[in-house]
Chains A and B, each alone.
Chain A
C-alpha cells in the first residue's frame, strides 16, 4: 500500500534495499562461505585419493616407459637388479598374492567363527571383553607385531611349523624346504598377516550378522532348527555378500601391509621357488626395504611403479568390498538397525 503512494525515489531505494538485503542474507550471515568451505574440504578428500594415484603415476613414468607392460607380466627369468638397473615386478606381485591369499584362507574361517560367537552366542557379560580383545588386536602397531615376530614368533612357532610342513608335505613344491634357520619366510608373513587381518574380517562380519533382524532367528528356531542350523542355514546365507565384502577388505589390508611383513619375510627379491618355506618379498616390503637407499632414478621409479600397482589393486578391491558392504546395509530393514 505504502509503495503505491510513494514517489519514484523511495521506490528505487526500497528496490535497492531489497536487492542488497538478499545479498546480505547470502553473505552477512556467512553461510555462503561456510557451505563453500565444507564443500571444498569434502572435495579435498576426494582430490587426495586422486592425487595419490596421479603422483605415483607421474613418478613412475621412467620405469613405465622403459619396461612397459613386461614389467608386470610373468617371465621365466625375472630379475630385480639395482646394479644392472633391470627390474621385473612379477615375482613381487606373485609374492604379494601368495602371502595374502594364504593368510585369507586361514583367517576367513577363523574370523567368521569368531564373529558368529561374538554376535550369536557370547553371553552378555563376556561380550564387552571379547569385543575388546578383537579391537585391541587390531590396534597393535604393525612394527611392534614385526618386532615380536622376529624375536618371539619366528623361533617359537614358525620354525617348528615350517619343519613339520617340510617333513610331512615336503614333496609338494609349495612346501619345499629348507626353511632358513631364522624362520624368515613367506610362511612367517602368512601367519603374521593372518593375525593382523582376523580383527578386520571379524568386526565387519559381526556387524553384518547383527544387522539381521531377530525375527529371522526366531522363525528358524520355531521351525525346529538347532542354533547351529539357524546360524548356518539362515544367518550365514543371508549375510553372505556382506561377509564376502569383509573378506575382500581383509585381503586389501593383507596386500598392503608393510612393516610386519618386511620384518619377517626375508626380503629375497630373487627367490625363484614358489615354496612357502623360502624367504620372499612383496610389493610393499620391497618398497619399504629399498626406497630410502635407491640411488638410480630408474630404481626409485621402478619402486614407485610397484606402489602404483599396489595402489590400483587395493583401490579396486576396496571399491568392490565397500559396494558389497553398502548394499547389505541398504538391504537390511530399519527394524533391525534400532
Chain B
C-alpha cells in the first residue's frame, strides 16, 4: 500500500510540490492582503473622525472665550465702539424658524400620509421621488426661488421669504421621516379604529399620529436643526438687519396704535438677520472682534445642531430599547 502510495506521489512530484509551494505563498499573500485591507478600512474610519473632532473642539474652545451675556442680549455695536451682541440674529433665527415650522410641519405630515397610504400608486411613487429630488436641490437655488416668488413681488427682503426658503429645505426631511414612522404603526391599530366606525381622517389623526408621534417629532427636530444651520438661502431673502429687535418693533407698533396683526406683519415682512448669516458676514470682516463674535455664534449654532442630533439619537435608542 505504502509502496503504491509512494510511487504515486513520486510520480506526481514534479507537479505537486511546486503547486504546494505556490499555494503556500498564495496563502500568505492572501492573508497579508486580508489583514492590510481590513486594517485600512479601520484606519480610514479613524481618519474620518479627525475633522469632526477638530471642528467641534476648536469651535467650542474658541467660541467659549468670546461668549458672554451681552452677546445674547445686545444689538450689534459699531466696530469702533466694540462690544455688542447678536440679539438681532437670535431673534431673526427664531422668527424664521417659526415661520418655516408653521409651513413645513403640516404640509410635510399631510404629504407623508399620502405617500405612506398609497406607496405603490403612480402619484405616490412620483411624490416620493419628488421628495428625494427636492432634498437634493442645492439650498442656494431654493434661495433664488424664494427671491423670485416673494422678495421681488413684495419689493422687500423679509423674514417671510427666509422662512419660506427654510421651510422648503425642512420639508423633505419631515415627509420622509413621518412616512417611515407611519409605516411602522401596526396594521391592527388602524384596522381596529376603522372597525369601530372611525372615518379615515380620524383614524389618521387620532390613532396613527399619536402612535407615531415620538418618531415624527424626532424627524421634525432634525429638520429644524438642519434649517437653523442653513445659510445660503438666507443670503438674499432676509439680507441682514443690524437693528432687528422684536421688542422695538412691538413697542413702536403699540405706540403708533397698530393692531396686533399689523405688528405681526411688520415683524414678518421686514428684513431680518440670522445667526448663520451673521457668522458668514463676520467671517469676512477685517476686524478681529467681528471674527471672534463669529466663533461665538459658531459655538451657539454647533451646540444647538449637535445637541438636537444627540438628543434625538438618545431618545430613539431608548424608545427602540423599550420596545424590544
Contact = CB atoms under 8 A, between A and B. Distances in A.
A in complex with B: yes
Contacts of A249: 136
Contacts of B305: 139-141
B46 to A, nearest CB: 9
B149 interface: yes
Contact of B201 (A34, A113, A136, A226): A34
Nearest to A150: B283
A291 B138 contact: no
A195 B48 CA distance: 8
Interface string A1-36: 000000000000000000000000000011101110
Contacts of B52: 133, 136-137, 140
Interface string A130-157: 1011111101111111111011100000
B319 to A, nearest CB: 15
A46 B127 contact: yes
B279 A143 contact: yes
B175 A45 contact: yes
Contact of B283 (A116, A147, A195, A318): A147
Interface residues of B, number: 85
User: DSSP class of B's interface residues: helix, strand, loop or mixed?
Assistant: helix
Contacts of B136: 249, 252-253, 256, 314-315, 317-318
From B38, B54, B129, B140, name the one whose CB has the most chain A CB atoms within 10 angstroms.
Answer: B140
Nearest to B308: A139
B137 interface: yes
Size class of the contact patch on chain A = 35 or more
B204 interface: yes
A44 to B, nearest CB: 7
A94 interface: no
Interface in B33-69: 33-34, 37-38, 40-42, 44-45, 47-49, 51-52, 54-56, 58-59
B239 A292 contact: yes
User: DSSP class of A's interface residues: helix, strand, loop or mixed?
Assistant: helix
A243 interface: no
Contacts of B204: 34
A302 B35 CA distance: 54
B145 A135 contact: no
A70 interface: no
B176 to A, nearest CB: 11
Contact of B38 (A34, A198, A228): A228
Given A38-B114, A147-B59, 8 more contacts: A58-B148, A113-B44, A114-B45, A152-B54, A231-B37, A256-B141, A258-B138, A307-B144
